[in-house]
Amino acid sequence: MRTNHEIDYKIYGEEMQYVEIELDPNETAIAESGAFMMMDDGIQMATMFGDGSKPQQGLLGKLMSAGKRMLTGESLFMTAFTNMGQGKKRVSFASPYPGKIIALDLQELGGKIVAQKDAFLCAAKGVSVGIEFQRKLGTGLFGGEGFIMEKLEGDGMAFVHAGGHVFERVLQPGEVLRIDTGCLVAYTQTIDYDIQFVGGIKNTLFGGEGLFFATLRGPGKVWIQTLPISRLASRILTYGGAGGRKEEGSILGGLGNMLDGDGW
């Protein structure tokens, strides 16, 4: 039996997706501020501190919970959408930029998922949205996400969003996967997450891919995105600014501009 609210859902769209959640009477969905798209008549919207996973929590506890969420880049407040009418009602939440919405059944995933900051979109009431500290010094300093990531705990449905195409990879016990630190979206709590130096003077100076890999060791599940929002923003700034072309992460960018006639 689930302790979190049970919700039905359907995801629509391709590049710019939204998730439609169906609520039975008195069922509630929680969402990140700004994710709301539309809802049926009969659904009541209420702003609250934190995620509402601990209804008996006092004011100090709610403030501490909301303060922790600020460390992950989320807002102090969340919004609860409750079906106060008769029969099933629907509420929809939209993705903030091109990418995919991932549906995560926490009950089937061991009760906990660790995700990148700003990944959370919405969830069933009862799902706890908190912070996960990276205890390894190298992971915190060079992991791309810093010492603090987001954790989703409970036994209900939760939805996260990431850029580009998002796919799931299942790692067997002892299996190792190395990916770009910015492409890591989320992973189950059984995954061992660490950072590895790329190595090699040519890779460091001319590779343009960064100095570190995210190293993930199974068993467990990993979700990977093809287009981190930081990479998209960097390209927009590069090609939209007055600086002309710059090769990402490479010291040869200026030389390339001069050869093109942009640096004279």
Q: How confident is the model at residue 118 (pLDDT cuts 50, 70, 90)?
A: confident
The answer to which of 38-47, 209-218, 245-254 has the lowest mean pLDDT is 245-254
Does residue 173 have a cis bond before it (omega within 30 degrees)? no
CATH H-level superfamily of 8-235: Mitochondrial biogenesis AIM24 (3.60.160.10)
* pLDDT given for residue 218 in this prediction: 94
Supply the pLDDT for residue 259: 42
Strands, E assignment, the chain? 8-12, 18-23, 28-32, 36-39, 43-49, 77-83, 89-94, 99-105, 112-115, 120-124, 128-133, 148-153, 157-163, 166-171, 176-180, 184-188, 192-197, 212-217, 220-225
pLDDT in tens, 192-246: 988 776 654 544 444 444 567 788 999 999 999 998 877 777 777 777 664 444 4
Instruction: Give the per-residue pLDDT at 212.
Output: 72
The answer to whether the beta carbons of residues 134 and 140 sit under 8 Å apart is yes
In this prediction, residue 65 carries a pLDDT of: 60
pLDDT at 24: 96
The pLDDT assigned to 196 comes to 74
Using CA atoms of 218, 224, 230, 235 in order, give the dihedral in degrees to the nearest 10: 130
Average pLDDT of the chain to the nearest whole number = 79
d(CA 114, CA 170): 15
**Three-state SS annotation for 226-250:** CCCHHHHHHHHHHHHCCCCCCCCCC
Residue 55 has pLDDT above 90, yes or no: no
Gap between the Cα atoms of 13 and 217, Å rounded: 33
Task: Report the pLDDT value the prediction gives residue 57, as an integer from 0 to 100.
Answer: 55
Mean pLDDT of 155-159: 95
Tell me: pLDDT of 253 over 80.
no
Domain ranges of the chain: 8-235
The per-residue pLDDT for 133 is 73
Percentage with pLDDT > 70 across the chain: 69
Listing DSSP states for 182-236 in one string gives: GGEEEEETTSEEEEEE---HHHHHH--S-SEEEEEESSEEEEEESS-HHHHHHHH
User: pLDDT of 175-192, one tens digit each?
Assistant: 999 988 889 999 999 999
pLDDT band at 261 (very low <50, low <70, confident <90, very high): very low
pLDDT digits (tens, 9 = 90+) for 18-31: 999 999 999 999 99
Assess contact for 116 and 185: CB atoms under 8 A.
yes
Query: In 3-state terms, what secondary structure has residue 152?
Result: strand
Residue 255 is predicted with a pLDDT of 46
pTM of the model: 0.77
Q: What is the pLDDT of residue 187?
A: 96
